[in-house]
Amino acid sequence: MGLPLSTMLPAETPDALLSLANKLSDDDALGFLLSGGCGANGAVPLGGFSDAVRSIKDATNLKINAHVGYPRREAIDRLVDSGIDAFSVTFPMSDEIGKRYLGIDNALSRYEETANGLRDIGARVVPHALIGLGNQNEDVAGLSVLASYNPKSVVVIVFTPLRGTPLSTAPAMPDARIVETLAFARSAMQHANLVLGCMRPRGKTEVEARLIEGSLDGIVMPSTAALRAVSGKVALERYEGCCALYL
């Protein structure tokens, strides 16, 4: 199990997912993120959970955001029919980065196949662009490619070295570069809803405040200090739940 997934509640079988969802509903939760590790084919193996998800959607008011990896077209219909409310699809930035870090050949084509397949049958697709794995030129080039697809909404997440992972000693993205890269994303995708996601280094009050004032339409779990810093300068609205459900 990947380190970020280790903090999530486990549901390794459809029955376990149903039980967990019922408890969340009883506790008045608004919804949940459905995620997991990808198989060798680059997709999160959710096919066996489709009927359980359909039952959850029929019996509760829970909203579901799913990280699905890159499922093939033949698997997409069943995922959408299950009632998933939003699909968060990782944008690989480039074929090279996709191969280097995701272990997927022709990653851009796989992204297009998944995203277009979902959209073609009416699903809400929110690309997640991970900056900081490549150098600044690679980030700019990747965001330019994403902009060429004219996305309605984009979540940008920032590479964070995590202890116990193969990239634990890789350099973190400098603060100035985070701000510059998000400013470029804003200029390249002026009509998209642009949000800074939950996967990012924390404790960067100044960075968050500058982004709230300038480049972003939203930020997931901003620091209290950043909100204080922009108080009275921008109008703020608060939403509960995964950002993809509101974009």
**Residue 203 shares a structural domain with residue 236:** yes
Domain around 216:
141-156+175-247
d(CA 163, CA 158): 16
Question: What is the pLDDT, as a whole number, of residue 1?
Answer: 39
d(CA 48, CA 44): 11
How far, CA to CA in Å, does 41 sit from each of 38, 211, 240? Answer: 7, 36, 33
The total domain count for the chain is 2
CATH number (domain holding residue 22): 3.20.20.70
146 pLDDT above the threshold of 70 = yes
Q: What is the pLDDT of residues 3-24, one digit of tens each?
A: 666 778 999 999 999 999 999 9
- Three-class DSSP category at 195: strand
Write down the pTM of the prediction.
Answer: 0.92
Question: What is the pLDDT, as a whole number, of residue 3?
Answer: 61
Q: What is the pLDDT of residues 186-219, one digit of tens each?
A: 999 999 999 999 999 998 999 999 999 988 999 9
Q: What is the pLDDT of residues 147-175, one digit of tens each?
A: 999 999 999 999 998 888 888 899 999 99
**Residue 146 shares a structural domain with residue 117:** no
Question: What is the pLDDT, as a whole number, of residue 114?
Answer: 96
Sign of CA dihedral 14, 20, 23, 27: negative
**Residue 29 shares a structural domain with residue 77:** yes
**Residue 149 shares a structural domain with residue 43:** no
d(CA 238, CA 226): 14
Domain annotation covers residue 13: yes
Type of residue found at 135: N
